[in-house]
Amino acid sequence: MRMKNWLDKRCDLTPNRIALIGAGEQLTFGELRLRARQTAGRLAALGAGKSDRVALLCRNGLHVPELVHAIHYLGAVLVPLNTRLTPRELEYQLQDAACVCLIYDEAYRAQVEAIQEQLPQLRCVRTDELQSVGSSGVPLQAEIETEDLHTIMYTSGTTGNPKGVLLSYDNHWSSAVGSVLNLGFTEHDRWLAAVPLFHISGLSILMRSVIYGMTVVIHERFDPAAANRAIQEQGVTIVSVVSNMLARMLDELNGKRYPDTFRCMLLGGGPAPRPLLEACRDQGIPVFQTYGMTETSSQIVTLPPEFSLTKLGSAGKPLFLSELRVMKDGTAAPPYIEGEIEVRGANVTRGYLNRPDATAKAIRDGWLATGDIGYVDEEGFLYVLDRRNDLIISGGENVYPAEIEAVLLSHPAVAEAGVIGMEDDTWGQVPVAFITLRGGVVQPKEEEVLAFCRERLARYKVPSRVYVVEALPRNASNKLLRRELSKLIPTGEE
């Protein structure tokens, strides 16, 4: 289907509405369009044209949506890069996506210099230099074809090279429409993006902004006090978070209440610890759990507003344009039986760039096999248990790290927890735990924590060891990186 360019259409409708609020600056949709069109002319002068891939290596800021829309005015394809990657990892993605240019922030100059040694042909331009590039008079794309490619976004993957997820205009559109039919929207809404804009959680907020006509408040990095201030003083009504961010906001909030205008804490990024959800409930924080991934253009399953208390711990129901099933031994599992989560819908990717085999393996008849484990209750609400690749099998029993982590987090002294499986001669695997402690508490002995677990978990689920560490490894979205945990085991104990 052909549609008018989204930013142009939005400016036809509400040019004077605030589109973006950043550090000391705000832009209306009309101003954003003006800047995006100027930037498009500069990117064209660098050689970017229709269907070309343009990579961004940028911190969060107002310049990101400007660049995103500029890229789409050219009919080019956006390739957002994770700023925490090593030069070698970035080179892989730039080559795999055959990017024609890389726009980067000054902060990443060292990485880009290393990249340029390996990829001397790649045109690399700093965002501050881009301002002085003369604009080419190339005509901008007034219309889009919804089937066209909009974004290539790499998923970290647990093994092997990352895969470039292909996202079309229609994928983003369907995601935004599915979300508004669940969460609603009014012109007074303001969505805080303190998650990275190079991840789908952040990019999807920018898409909703232009489609709904919604103000987005962009934070350069997540800071719990700043996030709380945005809610309390700047009229933010919706925030995207993962559990770790939410826990830190709750701590910082220190018993204070959010104003009644705050209506949605959208909690993604994996299973959430029940004590955290209960603490939010007790403090009147409207948490909406959600389940999604790059391949689904963000949310695909979200808890509807009226179930946020009665279905605590559930990720909810598939959005209006999406479907869900739990597969076990090749058939759809009945309620309460665990299996692999499969999803389908207009927001689901058509596949991976240059990976016909991986695509064919992951997507069959439109159903994407997520690799995640969960079950649905008798009313069809999804409960996500874990990522399949993290599953620990001990003495023939399935052990889900998230379940053990939730118990550890309910201990009053524990701030964060991560669990992995370690090889064991007797049981095949045994769970091993890593925790960080809250400040100002008496440090518990390992045996004390183990005793706490034994009271709450079947024997085979109790960790064989609990290591107290300074910090847990997390990615840029603050998701726990379980596969990095084994590196934290003290030397000599591996």
Using rule CB under 8 A, residue 211 touches its own copies: yes
| Binding to its own copies, residues 162-181 (CB under 8 A) | 177, 180-181
Among 157, 305, 334, 412, binds its own copies (CB under 8 A): 305
Tokens for 42?
């500069």
Scanning 47-55, 182-190, 253-261, 392-400 for contacts with its own copies by CB under 8 A, the matching segment is: 182-190
> Do 268 and 246 contact (CB within 8 A), yes or no?
no
Closest approach of its own copies to the CB of residue 379, in Å: 8
Scanning 9-17, 54-62, 94-102, 274-282 for contacts with its own copies by CB under 8 A, the matching segment is: 9-17
> Do 46 and 88 contact (CB within 8 A), yes or no?
no
Among 321, 333, 358, 488, binds its own copies (CB under 8 A): 321
Convert 400-418 to b/e letters by CB count within 10 Å (16 or more is b): bbbbbbbbbbbbebbbbbb
Angle at 192 between CA 186 and CA 195, to 5 degrees: 140
| Binding to its own copies, residues 39-68 (CB under 8 A) | none
Euclidean distance between CA atoms 71 and 75, whole angstroms: 7
> Do 394 and 424 contact (CB within 8 A), yes or no?
yes
The CA distances from residue 433 to 174, 408, 413, in Å, are 40, 9, 15
Q: Which is nearer to its own copies, 4 or 454 (CB)?
A: 4
Q: Which is nearer to its own copies, 245 or 287 (CB)?
A: 287
If you ran DSSP here, which 8-state letter would residue 297 be given? T
Euclidean distance between CA atoms 285 and 265, whole angstroms: 7
| Binding to its own copies, residues 374-393 (CB under 8 A) | 380
Using rule CB under 8 A, residue 12 touches its own copies: yes
Scanning 3-11, 72-80, 89-97, 110-118 for contacts with its own copies by CB under 8 A, the matching segment is: 3-11
| Binding to its own copies, residues 221-280 (CB under 8 A) | none
Using rule CB under 8 A, residue 14 touches its own copies: yes
The SS3 of residue 188 is: coil
| Binding to its own copies, residues 342-361 (CB under 8 A) | 346
Report how many residues bind its own copies under the rule CB under 8 A: 30
Using rule CB under 8 A, residue 328 touches its own copies: no
Euclidean distance between CA atoms 364 and 370, whole angstroms: 12
> Do 116 and 124 contact (CB within 8 A), yes or no?
yes
Scanning 226-234, 317-325, 401-409, 470-478 for contacts with its own copies by CB under 8 A, the matching segment is: 317-325
Among 136, 155, 312, 320, binds its own copies (CB under 8 A): 320
Using rule CB under 8 A, residue 17 touches its own copies: yes
Tokens for 430?
């045994």
Question: Which segments of 37-172 are extended strands (E)?
Answer: 53-57, 77-80, 99-104, 123-126, 143-145, 149-155, 163-168
Among 41, 213, 269, 270, binds its own copies (CB under 8 A): 213
- Find where tokens 């997507």 sit: 363
Using rule CB under 8 A, residue 468 touches its own copies: no
Scanning 4-12, 130-138, 160-168, 283-291 for contacts with its own copies by CB under 8 A, the matching segment is: 4-12
Q: What is the CA radius of gyration of the chain?
A: 23
Secondary element (H or E) of residue 11: helix 6-13
> Do 175 and 207 contact (CB within 8 A), yes or no?
yes
Closest approach of its own copies to the CB of residue 144, in Å: 12
Scanning 54-62, 84-92, 207-215, 401-409 for contacts with its own copies by CB under 8 A, the matching segment is: 207-215
Using rule CB under 8 A, residue 1 touches its own copies: yes
Closest approach of its own copies to the CB of residue 421, in Å: 35
- Find where tokens 């309390």 sit: 232
Using rule CB under 8 A, residue 309 touches its own copies: no
Q: Which is nearer to its own copies, 382 or 408 (CB)?
A: 382
Work out the number of other CB atoms within 10 angstroms of the CB of residue 82: 19
Among 306, 329, 365, 423, binds its own copies (CB under 8 A): 306
Residues lying near its own copies in the complex (CB under 8 A) are found at: 1, 3-4, 9, 12-14, 16-17, 177, 180-182, 184-187, 211-213, 304-306, 317-318, 320-321, 323, 346, 380
